[in-house]
Structure 1
Amino acid sequence: MPEWLEIVVIVAFAIGAVFFFAKYRETAAALHESERMKARLSNDLNRYRDVPKLRALRDALIGVKALPTDDEGNEHLLLSDGDLQLHHLVLRREANALGKEGTASYIKDGKEVELQELE
């Protein structure tokens, strides 16, 4: 085989190898970015997964929607925690409407603490 043909073949293989590794690196970077985005979006979905439940709970507790009530006047609620473990809550409601200037407070450790609105 002539020497110039060997050189042409070696150069062609070298150029092919450069293109192959460049494409491999680009594909690996795209795959890494895809996995990163998948993890981020999954975390976002987990964070916002409970929003409809929290809105329903808020509506039920402020009286917009009624909770199931038993014969003794107790209200019942079934909630799942972060581990998807179900909890049965029995509520006895005592509601006091506040005026525009009104504030609610409670006693904790012998001190009066102003209650903040949930956001």
Structure 2
Amino acid sequence: MPAWFEVLIIVVFAIGAVFFFAKYRETVAVLHESERMKTRLSNDLGRYRDVPRLRALREAVLGSKPLPTDDDGNEHLLLRDGDLQLHHLILRRESAPVGDDDNITYTKNGEQVKLEELE
């Protein structure tokens, strides 16, 4: 076999190897990006999974239909969380006029916290 033919075969295989590894790297990059996007979209879906429940809570609290009320005036609402466990919420609605000089507080973790929305 002539020497030029051996060199030609080696050059063709070298060029083929370069194209093969370039295509391989491109495929790996696309698969990596696909996995990254799948993870990101999965996290987004997990984050927005509770939106229908939050809408149901908003409609129950702010809606025109009254919630079931007991003898003490407490309203009762049943909601499911992300793990589909049922939670019983007891709501008490109170309203009072607020003056400009009044300090309005609410209870959070057993402590009185000043309401900042009025400032």
TM-score range, shorter chain: 0.7 to 0.9
Identity of aligned residues (%): 56
Change in CA separation of 1:89 and 1:103 when aligned onto 2, cut-off 3 Å: farther
* CA displacement at 1:90 relative to structure 2: 4.3
Letter in 2 for 1:78: L
Letter in 2 for 1:87: L
* CA displacement at 1:111 relative to structure 2: 6.3
Change in CA separation of 1:33 and 1:109 when aligned onto 2, cut-off 3 Å: closer
Q: Which has the higher contact order (CA 8 A, sep 6+)?
A: 2
Letter in 2 for 1:80: D
Query: How many residues are aligned here?
Result: 114
Structure 1 runs, 4 residues or longer, greater than 6 Å off: 99-103, 108-111
Matched, 1:94 2:90: no
* CA displacement at 1:100 relative to structure 2: 9.4
Once superposed, what is the RMSD of the aligned Cα atoms? Answer: 3.1
Alignment of 1:75-90 (within 5 A): 75-81=76-82, 84-90=83-89
| Rounded Cα–Cα distance in structure 2 between residues aligned with 1:53 and 1:45 | 14
Per-residue deviation, residues 4-42 of structure 1 (Å, max 9, x unmatched): 111101110000000000000011001101111111111
Q: What SS does the aligned partner of 2:86 have?
A: strand
| Rounded Cα–Cα distance in structure 1 between residues aligned with 2:65 and 2:79 | 15
Could you tell me which runs of 5 or more consecutive residues in structure 1 were left unpaired when the two chains were aligned: none
Could you tell me which runs of 5 or more consecutive residues in structure 2 were left unpaired when the two chains were aligned: none
TM-score by length of 2: 0.73
